Amino acid sequence: MSKKAHILLGMFMLVTLILSSCTAPAATTPAPTSVPAQAEPTDVPAQPAPTEAVEPAPADSNRLILATTTSTEDSGLLDVILPDFENEFGVEIDVIAVGTGQAITLGQDGNADVLLVHARAREDEFMAAGHGVRREDVMYNDFVIVGPEADPAGIKGLASAAEAFQKISQGQAAFISRGDESGTHTKELAIWKVAGIEPAGDWYVSAGQGMGEVLTMTGEQQAYTLSDRATYLARSKEGLDLVVLVEGDKDLFNPYGVITVNPEKGPQIHADLANQFVDWIISLPVQGKIAQFGMDDFGQSLFIPDSQPWRDTQ
Question: What does the pLDDT read at residue 271?
Answer: 97
The domains found in the chain, sorted by start residue, are: 63-141+255-313 (3.40.190.10), 143-252 (3.40.190.10)
Per-residue pLDDT at 60: 60
Q: How far apart are CA 210 and CA 168, in angstroms?
A: 22
- 305: closest CA among 237, 258, 251? 258
User: Which residue from 86, 49, 84 is spatially nearest to 64, judged by alpha carbons?
Assistant: 86
Average pLDDT for 25-29? 40
pLDDT tops 70 at residue 22: no
Per-residue pLDDT at 246 exceeds 80 = yes
**pLDDT per residue as tens digits for the range 248-289:** 999 999 999 999 999 999 999 999 999 999 999 999 999 999
User: How far apart (Å, rounded) are the C-alpha atoms in residues 182 and 177?
Assistant: 11
Q: Report d(CA 144, CA 252) in Å as an integer.
A: 7
Q: Is beta strand 204-206 parallel, antiparallel or unpaired with respect to 175-177? A: parallel
- Mean pLDDT to the nearest integer, 151-160: 98
Mean pLDDT across the stretch 31-53? 41
HEC readout, the chain? CCHHHHHHHHHHHHHHHHHHHHCCCCCCCCCCCCCCCCCCCCCCCCCCCCCCCCCCCCCCCCEEEEEEEHHHHHCCHHHHHHHHHHHHHCCEEEEEEECHHHHHHHHHCCCCCEEEECCHHHHHHHHHCCCEEEEEEEEEEEEEEEECCCCCCCCCCCCCHHHHHHHHHHCCCCEEECCCCCHHHHHHHHHHHHHCCCCCCCCEEECCCCHHHHHHHHHHHCCEEEEEHHHHHHHHCCCCCCEEEECCCHHHEEEEEEEEECHHHCCCCCHHHHHHHHHHHCCHHHHHHHHHCCHHHHCCCCCEECCHHHHHHC
pLDDT above 90: residue 48: no
Count of Cβ atoms closer than 10 Å to residue 247 Cβ: 16
Read off the pLDDT of each residue in 221-234 and give the average, rounded to a whole number. 96
For the residues 38-47, what does the mean pLDDT come to?
Answer: 42
pLDDT at residue 59, as a whole number: 53
> What does residue 137 show for φ and ψ, rounded to 5 degrees?
-65, 145
Residue 123 has pLDDT above 80, yes or no: yes
300: pLDDT strictly greater than 70: yes
pLDDT reading at 37 higher than 70 = no
For the stretch 75-108, pLDDT in tens is 999 999 999 999 999 999 999 999 999 999 999 9
Report residue 61's pLDDT band, with 50, 70 and 90 as the boundaries.
confident
**Measured CA angle at 168 (ends 164, 169), to 5 deg:** 115
CB 64 within 8 A of CB 114: yes
**What tens digit of pLDDT does each residue of 173-218 get?**
999 999 998 999 999 999 999 999 999 999 999 999 999 999 999 9
Rg for the chain, CA atoms, rounded: 42
User: What's the mean per-residue pLDDT of the chain?
Assistant: 86
d(CA 230, CA 249) in angstroms, rounded, equals: 17
Interval 7-14 mean pLDDT: 40
